[in-house]
Amino acid sequence: MGDLNSDLVLLASAIARGEELSSQIDSQYSEYTRDTAIEVYRNNYRGNLQDALAGVYPVVKQLVGDTFFRFMARKYIELYPSASANLYHYGGELAVFLNEFTPARELAYLPDVATLEWACHVAYFVADQPSLDMNKLAQISPEHYASLIVSTHPAYRIVRSRYPVNAIWYAHQTGEEENFHFELENNPSIALVGRIDNVVKVTDLSESEACWLENIQAGNTLGVATAVTLELHPHFDLQSTLLKLFESGVFVDVILKELS
């Protein structure tokens, strides 16, 4: 891999890093200059990545407006160049970037909105896995429930925020410009993000529901998860939580833990 590789690397660095073009590129074109040509490629490069970001983060875009979003995307693209030929992988660090991005500092909830939108994006593209068959649960005698290990769908993520990002996300799903008011202080939220019937769903979770599900996701038995949760949240209601989470599609399978 000799000359070809160096030709390509030189062109790539001219496009992605704004470096000088190599002398191996023809300098004369009938209708335009070489500088015009490389600018077309630079614009394509940024434009494709910016479109990818806009596709993943429609709510962030609505919150900051088109002009600011373009400015923000340009800075993001400089700091986080593409690493995959598949554009659907692009943009996963936006929340991290926004935490450090001082021009957006006044919108303190913006990084958490980005985290929620990335979780939705991942949920949309993750491979299918069938939901739990209730018949399988019915075959297990209730006295063994405490020893059940429930496996959960890998697409489902819990997103916590000290801000009401779930409400902000819901309010911007129509895409219509409207004035919303959200109480930002002392108004935290927890979202369960997943996909059911091919539609991405964001479900509000209470602290106790999230605590129980996190214990289940960590591989604890139903009994242990429930005991830990009840200790922290004495009013935890296992039955209603099971029903709500079953409907969300997060459960995939149940197995009885081997009694040792």
Partner 1 sequence: MQRPATSQLPCKAGIGLRATHYSEVLETLPELGWVEVHNENFFGGGASLHTLLKVREHYAVSLHGVGMGLASTTPLCETHLSALQQLCETVRPAVVSEHLCWNSAGGFVVNDLLPFPYTPEALAHVVRRVEHVQEKLGRQLLVENLSSYLSFSHSEMTEGEFLAELSRRTGCGILLDVENLYVNTRNLGVDAMAFINAIPVDAVQEYHLAGYSVRDGCLVDTHDHPVYPEVWELYEYVLQQIGPRPTLIEWDADIPALSVLMAEAAKAQQRMEATHG
Question: Where along the sequence are the contacts to partner 1 (CB under 8 A)?
Answer: 1-5, 7-9, 11-13, 15-16, 23-26, 29-32, 34, 36-41, 43-45, 48-49, 52, 81-88, 90, 124-128, 195, 198-200
Cβ nearer to partner 1, comparing 90 with 163: 90
User: Which amino acid would we find at residue 84?
Assistant: S
Q: How far is the CB of 226 from partner 1 (least distance, A)?
A: 32
Which pair of structure tokens corresponds to residue 170? 């819901």
Judge whether 91 and 118 are in contact, CB under 8 Å: yes
Q: How far is the CB of 47 from partner 1 (least distance, A)?
A: 9
Find the farthest-apart pair of alpha carbons in the chain and give their distance in angstroms, rounded. Answer: 82
Q: How far is the CB of 50 from partner 1 (least distance, A)?
A: 11
Task: Please name the residues in contact with 88: beta carbons below 8 A apart, sequence gap of 6 or more.
Answer: 52, 121, 125
Query: For the CA atoms of the chain, what is the radius of gyration?
Result: 24
Chain-centroid distance of CA 70 in Å reads 20
Q: How far is the CB of 88 from partner 1 (least distance, A)?
A: 7
Cβ nearer to partner 1, comparing 92 with 223: 92
Cβ nearer to partner 1, comparing 16 with 167: 16
Cβ nearer to partner 1, comparing 82 with 187: 82
Q: How far is the CB of 43 from partner 1 (least distance, A)?
A: 8
C-alpha span between 33 and 212 (Å, rounded): 63
Cβ nearer to partner 1, comparing 49 with 114: 49
Judge whether 53 and 73 are in contact, CB under 8 Å: yes
CA 136, 142, 147, 148 torsion: positive or negative? positive
Q: How far is the CB of 120 from partner 1 (least distance, A)?
A: 11
Cβ nearer to partner 1, comparing 7 with 247: 7
Which pair of structure tokens corresponds to residue 256? 């009885």
Residue 257: phi, psi to the nearest 5?
-65, 135
